[in-house]
Amino acid sequence: MKFTSYWHDTAPRFGGAEPGPVAGRCDVAVIGGGFTGLNAARKLAKEGVSVALLEASHVGAGGSGRNGGHLNNGVAHGYADAKAHLGAERAHALYRAYDRSIDMIEALIAEEGIDCDFRRCGKLKLASKASHADGLKANIELIAREVDPETDWIPAGGLGAEVGGGGFHGGALYRKTAMMHMGRYVHGLAGAAARHGARIWEEAPVTGREKTAGGWRLQTPKGAIEASRVIAATGAYGGAAKGAPLGYFRRRIISVGSFIIATRPLSAEEIAATVPGNRTYVTSLNIGNYFRLSPDNRLIFGGRARFSAVSDQRSDAKSGEILRASLARTFPHLADVDIDYCWGGLVGMTKDRYPRAGEAEGMIYGMGYSGHGAQMSTLLGQVLADLAMGRSDTNPLDGLDWPPIPLHAGEPWFLPLVGLWFGLKDRLS
């Protein structure tokens, strides 16, 4: 078993990083080489703006290359809850922004010629308990009436053609959802940004940020660069250290581990018994699971597993064993299947689980996707580029307040308590 992301292990690596030291001046400096930062850099470069991107590790090293491979449309939690929290107008706009981002990904892939197995597959949110079915059904019916008619409710008796394993009590179907190979997309996106003129430095973490007469000076171990504007596109992987130059986000982002396993390639018979609908799937438990087939027919099966802010081989291995047990409960016929990959990553959560994009402390930022970043980050990358060029009317999150989290200074000491609370809710629901 490999303790590495399947997406990185099965994708060609980006080879266009700048070989020399970080130096010079640019119009816009982007911090973070994931989907958000790369599409911001690509958009700016296409518009003739000089742009430099600084990535602490390699492109896609964070959440963009360590996720479950889903491009799920719809908001991260119940649409009715979004209306209550945000108001009907903003909830509608945010829902449609997720749809637009998936459309943008599809168009970008075609425009840049990125081979990443993009496919419109639809998503099923599965009722794990009979008590969950009515709520899911009411939510999807509200969505169908108000914002997305390409949705439906599939009762328990109709799930046989969609998902095996048994034990589910109906499912909410979102037809616009897609899937793709995340590693091939992120490296293809980096290549496209570089072709359009963006300079990309890898292994260049930003260690200091200093105000200058003409903007900002960003310091890295490889040197420094000056920029008129700065875009922060880091999320769970930014501002981790005390005193870091992105400390503003440290007080507003909760870094939570998410963990994934991938089986050996399944046979046609095993696929028919497991995911005959070949969609993306997510269960309705608070500590639930998500799964899909990979392009080479592995079952990619993930979930929170443990409420931890650490993702390393030891942590991933512990979580992998929990996920294997969940896989066996969900699909008993796969209880003894070989697991070829086990990996984890950090998800940047906000307190209310809505993403944020705007400007603060002299930086333009977009992050806080709360588990829905793969689908929204491409659009927000373009939004951040627009903000850097003085255009603010494309931001679906404009004006959404983002106060710091009380008693949170970057170390999420409360995660085990959150895990206990959600576990209790799952047992009682």
Q: According to the model, what pLDDT value does residue 422 have?
A: 47
Structure tokens given for 339: 């697991």
Region for residue 24 given its phi and psi (left: phi exceeds 0; alpha: psi -120 to 50; beta: otherwise): left
Could you tell me if 235 and 367 are in contact, meaning their C-beta atoms sit under 8 angstroms apart?
A: yes
pLDDT at res. 416: 53
d(CA 171, CA 168): 8
Determine, yes or no, domain membership for 33: yes
Q: Can you give the pLDDT at residue 371?
A: 87
How high is the pLDDT of residue 257? 81
| β-sheet with 289-293: strand ranges across | 151-154, 171-174, 123-126, 280-283, 289-293, 299-303, 254-263, 339-349
Q: How far is CA 170 from the centre of its chain?
A: 26
DSSP label of 2: B
Are 273 and 355 in contact, with CB atoms under 8 Å apart? Answer: no
124 domain residue, yes or no: yes
- Which residue range(s) make up the domain with 96? 6-388
pLDDT of residue 223: 98
Could you tell me the CATH number of the domain that includes residue 268?
3.50.50.60
Of the candidates 300, 329, 288, 279, the residue with the CA atom closest to the CA atom of residue 77: 288
Distance (Å, whole) CA 74 – CA 94: 8
In a domain, 178, yes or no: yes
Residue-by-residue DSSP string for 285-331 = STT-EEEEE-TTSPEEEEE--S--S--SHHHHHHHHHHHHHHHHHH-
Judge whether 58 lies within some domain.
yes
Domain count, the chain: 1
Tens-binned pLDDT, residue by residue, of the chain (429 aa): 999 999 999 999 999 999 999 999 999 999 999 999 999 999 999 999 999 999 999 999 999 999 999 999 988 778 999 999 999 999 999 999 999 999 999 999 999 999 999 999 999 999 999 999 999 999 999 999 999 999 999 999 999 999 997 789 999 999 999 999 999 999 999 999 999 999 999 999 999 999 999 999 999 999 999 999 999 999 878 754 444 678 888 889 888 888 999 999 999 999 999 999 999 999 998 678 999 999 999 999 998 755 555 556 677 788 889 999 999 999 999 999 999 999 988 888 899 989 999 999 999 999 999 888 999 999 999 999 999 999 989 999 999 999 998 877 666 544 554 544 445 455 666
Q: What pLDDT is stored for residue 417 in this prediction?
A: 46
Looking at residue 235, its pLDDT comes to 83
Residue 410's pLDDT is: 63
Residue 414 inside a domain? The answer is no
Per-residue CA distances from 280 to 124, 306, 359 (Å): 6, 22, 34
In a domain, 428, yes or no: no
Q: What is the pLDDT of residue 427?
A: 63
What strands lie across the sheet with 70-71, from one edge to the other? 70-71, 178-179, 119-120
Q: 412 in a domain, yes or no? A: no
pLDDT at 258: 85
In a domain, 138, yes or no: yes
